């Protein structure tokens, strides 16, 4: 069995990324029951605080398959992000993230994505990082766009959500990381609303 990956503390302009703590459970629960989060994630509709506690103590623990960070802003839990290992030999990974509703629209996730992708390329030796989201998740798309991901591609039936296929967006960033938008946001919007 491969050794668990470490969860290093990383800092950006706005965020500190660190291992989850039991004290994050309330924030995770609040984020998970938010209507917008439910519409764009696979979070169970019957999500409970006990599930949030299990998430911060078990799911986010060091693992050979992924690194999970809590996002902290000014001492408060602001969301979670994970970097999943897709293929060790080819240096490929994927991102998954969710922002607590109190921290949306403040550049928190954009800063977080830049930090995590930079870590993947510079410290872990990744060659590619992939992002996927439900079609229509503009907040997620804007976060990765700011970190230099190219214009996403629309893919019908890309994701499985609660037993059904849903349309999605996908984009892959290759090393080295540009760390800033590579096309104007208007072009991204135009490409995804055709």
- pLDDT tens for 5-54 read 899 999 999 999 999 999 999 999 999 999 888 888 878 889 999 999 99
Q: Is residue 106 part of a domain?
A: yes
Q: Is residue 177 part of a domain?
A: yes
Tens digit of each residue's pLDDT (9 = 90 or more) over 174-192:
998 787 899 999 999 999 9
Determine the Cα–Cα distance for residues 40 and 34; give it in Å rounded to an integer: 10
Q: Is residue 3 part of a domain?
A: no
- What is the band of 147 on the pLDDT scale with cuts at 50, 70, 90? very high
User: What's the total number of domains in the chain?
Assistant: 1
Q: Is residue 4 part of a domain?
A: no
Q: Is residue 35 part of a domain?
A: yes
Q: Is residue 133 part of a domain?
A: yes
Q: What is the pLDDT of residue 1?
A: 47
Claim: this prediction has a pTM higher than 0.85:
yes
Short-list 24, 19, 21, CA closest to 8? 19
Helical segments of 72-180, H only: 108-122, 138-146
Q: Is residue 171 part of a domain?
A: yes
CATH of the domain at 125: 3.40.630.30
- Cβ neighbors of 56 (< 8 A, separation 6 or more) are 20, 21, 22, 24, 25, 28, 70
Short-list 46, 55, 3, 60, CA closest to 28? 55
- Domain interval for residue 29: 10-192
Q: Is residue 2 part of a domain?
A: no
Helical segments of 34-79, H only: 35-40, 49-54
């Amino acid at each position: 069995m491969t050794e668990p990956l470490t969860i290093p503390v990383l800092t950006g302009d706005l965020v500190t990324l660190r291992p989850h703590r039991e004290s994050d459970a309330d924030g995770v629960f609040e984020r998970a029951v938010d209507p917008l989060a439910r519409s764009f994630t696979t979070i169970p509709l019957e999500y409970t605080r006990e599930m949030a506690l299990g998430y911060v103590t078990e799911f986010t623990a060091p693992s050979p398959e992924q690194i999970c960070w809590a996002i902290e802003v000014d001492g408060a839990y602001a969301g979670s992000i994970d970097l999943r290992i897709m293929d060790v030999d080819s240096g490929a990974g994927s991102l998954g993230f969710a922002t607590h509703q109190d921290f949306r629209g403040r550049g928190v996730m954009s800063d977080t994505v830049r930090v995590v992708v930079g870590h993947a390329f510079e410290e872990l030796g990744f060659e590619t990082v992939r992002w996927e989201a439900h079609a229509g998740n503009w907040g997620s798309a804007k976060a990765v766009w700011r970190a230099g991901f190219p214009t996403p591609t629309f893919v019908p039936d890309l994701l499985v959500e609660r037993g059904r296929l849903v349309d999605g967006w996908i984009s892959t960033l290759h090393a080295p990381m540009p760390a800033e938008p590579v096309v104007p946001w208007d072009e991204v919007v135009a490409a995804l609303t055709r």
